[in-house]
Structure 1
Amino acid sequence: MANWLTGVGYALSIISVALLAWVAWPAPDADRALVGAIIAGAALSVVGMVLRWAAHIVQNRKIEEDN
């Protein structure tokens, strides 16, 4: 159950990152560096959340194996 709840939490966080990136998206004539920063920031945030969720699953499996 905890893995499912953790997964839902991370999925909601990923959706919130996408929404924030969407709102922050600059106008077509804006600096290209800003576009790159928004894409990189959103991508890194999503990758970080996926890695944290994977680490959580691995840690729970190790705990179950030890018991």
Structure 2
Amino acid sequence: MRLSTRNQLDGTVLSVTRGEAMAVVRIRLTGGDEITSSITRDAADDLGLAEGTPVKALIKSTEISLGVE
């Protein structure tokens, strides 16, 4: 499948925490950095996400906020 999203990062699922409607998915990217994604529980189930599942994180954002102390 070819996608228009240019920010595509390979990784592996570290954990999936399922709530009533949403799931929080922790991913270790190639290189060792970790990111977290919140998706619907139905999407996590449909994708069969579990610890060790290889994934591609597709990042499409119009805003990135930063903060410092």
> Does the pair score TM above 0.5?
no
TM-score (ref. length: structure 2): 0.22
> Rg bigger for which structure?
1
Give the strand-richer structure, 1 or 2: 2
Where relative contact order (Cα < 8 A, 6+ residues apart) is larger, the structure is 1
